[in-house]
Structure 1
Amino acid sequence: MAQKIKVLIVDDSALIRQMLTSILSNDPAIEVVGAAPDALKAREMIKRLNPDVVTLDIEMPKMNGIDFLRKIMTLRPMPVVMISTLTQNGANITLQALEIGAVDFVAKPQQDVQRNLEDKAKEITDKVKAAAGARIRPLEEIDSDHAAQNKVAPLVNSGGDKNIVVFGASTGGVEAIRTVLSRLPSNMPPIFIVQHMPKQFTTTFAKRLDKLCAMDVHEAEDYMVAKAGHVYLAPGDKHLRVARSKGELVCRLVDGNPVSGHIPSVDVLFDSVCHVSPTETIGVMLSGMGRDGAESMLKLKQAGAYNVGQDEASCVVYGMPKAAFERGAVHKQVDIKKIADELISLCDSNGEASE
């Protein structure tokens, strides 16, 4: 029998500690080894209990979750899943936590917390399990990467045969997307992105990316005309499709049920460009849990697109890129720090994908 995943819960609410303990203990693969009301107690329990995963509240007395996360990722890097509120401020702080090195987050509603957390039981256990197998980097390595992400010169020979770029990402995708976009020039073809996260978080994520990148980053709106030099992020509550309207590429936002388990869905985005200009498209699959996008990425490849997958060594969770690669949908697997160069080569009219 496989060894159970040892989890430490850190939250100042006794109710939340009790509920998370109950939810996680119901999974036979997980053992809750302790629950701490604050960071100081948690620090002692981490040393004593040696957990595999920590769930960490953001707003706590004595030391907040962000400060404590920085200490964890500096002194004892380990998988952390943040428990954050569904508010604008909660979204900002959560994205900061993901940039520091947290693997993932669970959005905690402010009202009727008990019922809503119970509804999220599968999401919570799935994210803890994924975190247990995640690749964790120390904070100094992450900070070094952030410092290296500088604005780059525009494409010298824009106007190659690749005029659409589509990204799919989930767990680990926030940092992966940041890493790629911050290394791209201002005159890249339009980029469309699906990152699995709630609506409140995609709005904030788009704004954070816009400050970091040479390209202009937007949360997509229905019938927004897509232009070179712009990035369009799917809202967290709608599917994003690429379409043509009056000869122009546009974003189409679609209500509907989850596809491949998600709204927005990578499969929906990738499938849409199969019907627009697949031979002009580059598909990119980044770190994520599950299989969303694998089937439609194969369709893209068969229709003439060129597809890049993040390689296993640089993924936080090698789930979605692995599923696409094993399906035969990926032309080339690339380290996250080199994907931008790959895209630049493909979009430069004098360039080609590197070997």
Structure 2
Amino acid sequence: MKNIEVLVVDDSAVVRQVLSGLLNAVPGITVAHAVADPLLAMERMRLHWPDVLLLDIEMPRMDGITFLRKIMQERPLPVVICSSMTAGSTQLSVEALSAGAVAVVNRPRVNVRQYMQGHADELIAAVRLAAGANVLPAAPGRRGVATPSPMPPLPVAPAKLTADVILPPGLAAVNVRTGLLVAIGTSTGGTQALEEVLSALPADAPGIVVVQHMPEKFTAAFAARLDAICAITVKEAETNDKVRPGLALIAPGGKHLLVRRIGNQYYVDVIDGPLVNRHRPSVDVLFRSVAKCAGANALGIIMTGMGDDGAAGLLEMRKAGARTVAQDEKSCVVYGMPMEAVKLGAVEKSVPLQALDREILQQPGR
């Protein structure tokens, strides 16, 4: 396996020392250089291009997000944000993900050494994930840049759990057409991919429910950002929200999202529950609820992401008569979740990221 060379960019000498020490201790990862600001980083990068950039946000001479955008516009590179946790860090982290970062790892302003040593696994996982990501050039005409992804803390897998333990009893599949219900599941690389899809939809697009693997408190800022740039309304989902045309509901971080049907209307429930496929929210939980309450009246879309969450749920949707679509390998940052769904026979067809909005707007009857 190729050695991963990392360039650390942080204005704190202590942070540079801590991050370099942690990463250099890992077989297969080497910190090639550690510099104090983006201008120094550019000098190093002219001589030697790293595999992964580990980047702070708040720095002198040039801030990290400006530097990130510059890189992604000129020569895309896997970037992991490692920045101090402040009052505005959530919003800045979402902005960084939308600008092209593959992952975000938060750190405190004080006791950095002790904290990062306790969270070394998260840092290492983010760097390895970034090194294997398919970072794409900026889409023409977009403010963002390459394909980003939230990197939630990786929880320890509990005993085998499935979406069965989450779904309330008594849900029965229905065949009555009440207006198309679109369910989307995504993870690594999904932040900007969702932005591209949802911002291309008209204000009267079908109602959409979304699970994006994200840490708690990130999803509200993410939904607000999408709402500001989309013709449709985007909000963090709350229990009893009605699924309606022109609205996309984003599952809150740390909660599962389910859809239920009352008469000819769909509503959502936001609930606690165990991790499913190592995640909460879980795509499988959402897709299985949609399969049971919407049947053939739904469209399931599985997008870029690591792991297999959503594959089994998408298969249930297909068996219930729903259309099922996967983002194709070439346009995925990580072709994990779509690949597993394809292998399971859950996917009717795979299409590029740029074609997913057309799938959502496609009329019944295909």
Matches within 5 A, 1:52-67: 52-67=51-66
Q: Distance in 1 between matches of 2:258 and 2:190?
A: 20
2:141 pairs with 1:144 = yes
Give the secondary structure class of the aligned counterpart of 1:222.
Answer: coil
Distance 1:334 1:146, change over 3 A: farther
* Superposed CA RMSD: 2.5
Distance 1:15 1:275, change over 3 A: farther
Tell me what 2:297 maps to.
280
Tell me what 1:45 maps to.
44
Give the secondary structure class of the aligned counterpart of 2:141.
Answer: helix
| The one of 239, 250, 275 aligned to 1:222 | 239
* Structure 2, unpaired ranges of 5+: 145-175
2:53 pairs with 1:36 = no
2:23 pairs with 1:24 = yes
2:97 pairs with 1:80 = no
Distance 1:185 1:81, change over 3 A: same
Q: Distance in 2 between matches of 1:344 and 1:297?
A: 19
| The one of 304, 310, 317 aligned to 2:321 | 304
Give the secondary structure class of the aligned counterpart of 2:242.
Answer: coil
Q: Distance in 1 between matches of 2:297 and 2:102?
A: 33
Distance 1:210 1:124, change over 3 A: same
Bigger share in helix: 1
Q: Distance in 1 between matches of 2:265 and 2:87?
A: 33
Distance 1:337 1:121, change over 3 A: same
Shift of 1:125: 2.1
AA in 2 matched with 1:264: P
Give the secondary structure class of the aligned counterpart of 1:269.
Answer: helix
AA in 2 matched with 1:287: T
Q: How many residue pairs are counted as aligned between the two chains?
A: 335
Given that residues 85 and 110 in structure 1 are in contact (C-alpha distance below 8 angstroms), is that contact kept between their aligned partners in structure 2? yes
Tell me what 2:251 maps to.
234
TM-score, normalised by the number of residues in structure 1: 0.86
Q: Distance in 2 between matches of 1:111 and 1:247?
A: 54
2:200 pairs with 1:200 = no
Given that residues 80 and 103 in structure 1 are in contact (C-alpha distance below 8 angstroms), is that contact kept between their aligned partners in structure 2? yes
Q: Distance in 2 between matches of 1:334 and 1:162?
A: 23
Given that residues 206 and 360 in structure 2 are in contact (C-alpha distance below 8 angstroms), is that contact kept between their aligned partners in structure 1? no
TM-score, normalised by the number of residues in structure 2: 0.83
Q: Distance in 1 between matches of 2:88 and 2:213?
A: 19
Tell me what 1:152 maps to.
none
Tell me what 2:337 maps to.
320
Identity of aligned residues (%): 44
AA in 1 matched with 2:300: G
Tell me what 2:90 maps to.
91
Give the secondary structure class of the aligned counterpart of 2:243.
Answer: coil
Shift of 1:117: 3.4
2:273 pairs with 1:256 = yes
